[in-house]
Amino acid sequence: MEVLGIDIGGTGIKGATVDVTTGRLTNERFRIATPQNATPDAVAEIVRQIADHFDWSGPIGCTVPAVVEHGLVRSAANIHDMWIDTHVENLLFSATGQPVRVLNDADAAGLASVKFGAGKGRDGVVFFLTIGTGIGSALFMDQKLVPNTEMGHLILHKKAAELYTSDRVRKRKELSWEKWASRFQEYLDRLEFLFSPDTIIIGGGISRPKKAEQYLHFLSTRAELLTASLQNEAGIIGAAYAAAGKGA
């Protein structure tokens, strides 16, 4: 079964068709730059253009960088304030004429990971963390998603953890990998203290092999610590999988 997956990011909105039985893209990704004023209507128009590019008829899965409850956007930490209380599934249905399933971007990437990537076959408590401009999180219990966790907002040093140990902070403060890893270790210690996970998967741009080899040896966890394997395709795959009724 093929489903169109679309991943809405801060700089680009990208989509591809996905075989949801294998987790593989069946066409090359198509990307359009995210508009500078990324209001719901502006983004909906780009989603329509991506659906038209694939001449798509059928279910669509879509991510947004926000908390999504039953189709309603409930937060806007990294998107335009106009998204709050937008029924995004209805909005995108109106734009595309197709049924749309929308979920948080980290939840989608995590879903792809536990079904097709590094987390495949791992039961118990699994955390998937996306480390980039902020920290996104997805929590799974025996492969079942617990949606809309916001573990980037755990408090470290009287501030949200993502303001202390995201990749953006590493770059802005020009931290060495060792110094950044020391900060990230504090975050992992807090996560383990609160949730005792069996597995932690590090995703986002910082999980790419050439970067991961710079810091993984500085980290120590009781949980199995893995890096994500699906990279930039994870959000698209997870969104498509959820839209097929197989996931979240």
Tell whether 69 and 160 lie within a shared domain. Answer: no
Q: Hey, what are 194's tokens?
A: 């609160």
Cα separation, 197 vs 129, in Å, equals: 12
* Residue 204 backbone class (left: φ over 0; alpha: ψ -120 to 50; beta: rest): left
Q: What per-residue confidence (pLDDT) applies to 248? A: 55
Q: What per-residue confidence (pLDDT) applies to 83? A: 86
Q: What per-residue confidence (pLDDT) applies to 129? A: 97
Q: What per-residue confidence (pLDDT) applies to 205? A: 87
Q: What per-residue confidence (pLDDT) applies to 131? A: 95
Cα separation, 107 vs 147, in Å, equals: 7
Tell whether 67 and 130 lie within a shared domain. Answer: no
Tell whether 173 and 81 lie within a shared domain. Answer: no
Residue 113 lies in a domain: no
Residue 112 lies in a domain: no
Tell whether 224 and 237 lie within a shared domain. Answer: no
Q: What per-residue confidence (pLDDT) applies to 54? A: 97
Q: What per-residue confidence (pLDDT) applies to 227? A: 97
141: β partners: 125, 144
* Strands 144-146 and 199-203, bridge-based pairing: unpaired
53: β partners: none
Q: What's the distance, CA 59 to chain centroid?
A: 20
Tell whether 153 and 217 lie within a shared domain. Answer: yes
Q: Hey, what are 127's tokens?
A: 């955390």
Residue 182 lies in a domain: yes
Tell whether 225 and 127 lie within a shared domain. Answer: yes
Q: What per-residue confidence (pLDDT) applies to 81? A: 81
Tell whether 47 and 131 lie within a shared domain. Answer: no
Q: What per-residue confidence (pLDDT) applies to 37? A: 84
Eight-state DSSP code of residue 211: H
Residue 171 lies in a domain: yes
CATH number of the domain where residue 74 is located = 3.30.420.40
Residue 126 lies in a domain: yes
pLDDT by position in tens, the chain (length 248): 999 999 998 889 999 999 999 999 999 999 999 988 889 999 999 999 999 999 999 999 999 988 999 888 987 766 778 888 999 999 999 999 999 999 999 999 999 999 999 999 999 999 999 999 899 999 999 999 999 999 999 999 999 999 999 999 999 999 999 999 999 999 999 999 999 999 999 999 899 999 999 999 999 999 999 999 998 899 999 999 999 985 55
Tell whether 144 and 218 lie within a shared domain. Answer: yes
pTM to 2 decimal places = 0.93
Amino acid at site 117? G
Domain span including residue 35: 2-107+233-243
Tell whether 177 and 92 lie within a shared domain. Answer: no
Residue 248 lies in a domain: no
Overall number of domains in the chain: 2
